[in-house]
Amino acid sequence: MPENTRTTRTRRTLWRRTLAAGVVLAATGSILAASPHPAEAALPTQTIADPVHYWNDVLQGVFRKVGGGPVPMARAAAMMNGAIYDAESSYQLKWKGRMTSEAYIHAEAYAGWVEGPDEEERVIGRTAYNILLNLYGVNRPNKNAPDFTAYLDQRFKDRFGTAPTSGDLLDITIVSGMVNQMMNARAGDGSENTTSYTGDNKPGSWRPTGNYPDMADAKCQSDGDAVNPVWGQVKPFSLSSGSQFRPTTLTQYGTYENLVASPEYKAQVAAVRNAGAAAPTAATPVINRTADQYNAAWFWANDNDETYKPPGHMLQATREVSKARGLSTYANARLFALVSLALADTGIAVRDAKFSTPIDLWRPVSAIREGGLDPQWKPLLKNNAGVNVNPCFPAYVSGHASFGAAWAGVMKRYFGTDNIAFDLTTDEPLAPVKQRHFTSFSAAAKEDADSRIWLGVHYPWDATDGLILGDKVAGQVFTTKLRTL
Interval 51-109: pLDDT, tens: 999 999 999 999 999 999 999 999 999 999 999 999 999 999 999 999 999 999 999 99
Which helix (H) or strand (E) segment holds residue 438: the answer is: strand 435-438
- Letter string b/e over residues 444-467, b meaning 16 or more CB atoms within 10 A of that residue's CB: bbbbbbbbbbbbbbbbbbbbbbbb
Closest CA to 474 of 316, 247, 249, 237: 237
Q: For residue 424, give the amino acid letter.
A: L
According to DSSP, the residues that pair with 268 across neighbouring strands are none
Per-residue pLDDT tens over the stretch 344-359: 999 999 999 999 999 9
Burial of 386 (0-12, 13-18, 19+ CB in 10 A): exposed
Rounded distance between C-alpha atoms, residue 112 and residue 242, angstroms: 41
Cβ-based neighbours of 261, under 8 Å, separated by 6 or more: none
Residue 40: per-residue pLDDT: 53
Burial of 42 (0-12, 13-18, 19+ CB in 10 A): exposed
Rounded distance between C-alpha atoms, residue 98 and residue 90, angstroms: 9
Q: For residue 239, give the amino acid letter.
A: L
- The whole-number mean pLDDT for each consecutive block of 10 residues of the chain, a chain of 485 residues, reads 41 38 26 35 88 98 97 98 99 98 98 96 98 97 96 98 94 98 98 97 98 97 98 98 98 97 98 98 98 98 97 98 98 99 99 98 98 98 97 98 99 98 98 98 98 98 98 98 98
Residue 42: per-residue pLDDT: 77
Rounded distance between C-alpha atoms, residue 88 and residue 82, angstroms: 10
Specify the long-range contacts of residues 240-244, CB closer than 8 Å, at least 24 apart: 241/352, 242/348, 242/349, 242/351, 242/352, 242/356, 243/349, 243/352, 243/356, 244/349, 244/476
